[in-house]
Amino acid sequence: MRILLTGSTGQVGNALLRQLQGLGTIIAPGRDQLDLSQPKLVRQAIRDLQPDLILNPAAYTAVDKAENEPDLANAINAESPAVMAEEAKKSGCILIHYSTDYVFSGSKQDDSGNWVPYKEQDATHPVNVYGQSKLSGEQAILQSGCRHLIFRTSWVYSLFGKNFLLTMLRLANERPELKVVNDQWGAPTSADWLAQTTLDIVRQIQQAEKPGEWWAQHQGLYHVTPAGKTSWCGFTEEIITQASQRQMLLKDAPNILGIPSSDYPTPARRPHNSLLDTAKLTQHFSIQTPTWQAVLDSCLTSNSVRNQ
């Protein structure tokens, strides 16, 4: 199998690159070789490379910056994925694409005012440019008719790159007190767990005895996050607890203070509710989602193992 992997310098792409070894011939061009802001070049590259599977975790992910660069965000997050889908439809190639909780407004509640996880079929309504560009990408793929899976995930972190986990570990070693937003809810997702889940599903695709039937049953959108919910503040508390247990902090654990989003203004609005219902993932692929705390534990354990 020839696998075209985009974004291998990013969190999810890097985790995929490490975990895909042995699955086939992996082609992982960097941005200088395959620039997703140039959809025409993406089309030609796919025609030249003739992949059997495209894994597309590459994205314009600078949520705040996107407010001032909507055209660029749209080219990378919507136009290039649309081209990938068109080419996949023509060649019979499979497209696995990643999307985000930010396609939703984040206001879904039950009658008692509790945040309720979004299901795949719930109405979308992005509240920022990034979310709109990712939604447009999803829609183009869904409409293309190519063999595709779209994995919506949330709050991605890893021991690699720029992310909330590494920022909090750094700040915990620098400051006696951390003020963290406590009114946005979600499920933190490690890039490694997302890659492992992807790999599990790719193996199921490979093992399908009747591919036509498999795709008729499984093609489409899935929510892929660990189980449970927390706020950014709760996530920080767990990071500090688990890091302290592993002697990853250089000094005493900082005091953590929860603050409302209104005390931490950002150029792009964020949804309050980022919770994604993963029942469809379990139903279709028999994947039991671990708790977000267990996923964080695995991530930090892999760091301890690497440092031994």
User: Residues 98, 118, 130, 157: which is the catalytic one?
Assistant: 130
Residues in 78-107 at the binding interface with ligand NAP, rule: CB under 6 A: 98, 100-101
The reply on whether position 222 binds ligand NAP by CB under 6 A is: no
Lay out the site mask for ligand NAP across 121-160 (x = CB under 6 A, - = otherwise): -------------x------------------xxxx----
**Could you give the C-alpha distances from 40 to 8, 27, 84, in angstroms and in order?**
21, 19, 10
Residue with tokens 């309504």: 125
Local structure of residue 115 (DSSP, 8 states): B
Q: What angle do CA 81, 86, 89 make, to 5 degrees?
A: 120
User: Are 194 and 55 a contacting pair, CB within 8 Å?
Assistant: no
User: From CA 182, how far away is CA 287, in angstroms rounded?
Assistant: 29
The reply on whether position 230 binds ligand NAP by CB under 6 A is: no
How many Cα neighbours within 13 Å face the side chain of 206? Answer: 13
Within 10 Å of residue 173's Cβ, how many Cβ atoms?
A: 13
Catalytic-residue membership of 102: no
The reply on whether position 161 binds ligand NAP by CB under 6 A is: yes
Of the residues 3, 20, 26, 36, which one makes contact with ligand NAP according to CB under 6 A: 36
User: From CA 1, how far away is CA 108, in angstroms rounded?
Assistant: 41
The reply on whether position 58 binds ligand NAP by CB under 6 A is: yes
Interacting span for ligand NAP (CB under 6 A) from 31-39, 207-215, 258-266, 293-301: 31-39
- Beta carbons within 8 Å of 293's beta carbon, 6+ residues apart: 228, 238, 242
Q: How far is the CB of 186 from ligand NAP (least distance, A)?
A: 9
The reply on whether position 269 binds ligand NAP by CB under 6 A is: no
The reply on whether position 35 binds ligand NAP by CB under 6 A is: yes
Of the residues 3, 4, 5, 11, which one makes contact with ligand NAP according to CB under 6 A: 11
User: From CA 225, how far away is CA 296, in angstroms rounded?
Assistant: 12
The reply on whether position 31 binds ligand NAP by CB under 6 A is: yes
Residues in 283-302 at the binding interface with ligand NAP, rule: CB under 6 A: none
Residues known to be catalytic: 130
- Name the site residues for ligand NAP (rule: CB under 6 A): 6-7, 9-13, 31, 34-37, 57-61, 76, 98, 100-101, 134, 153-156, 161, 191
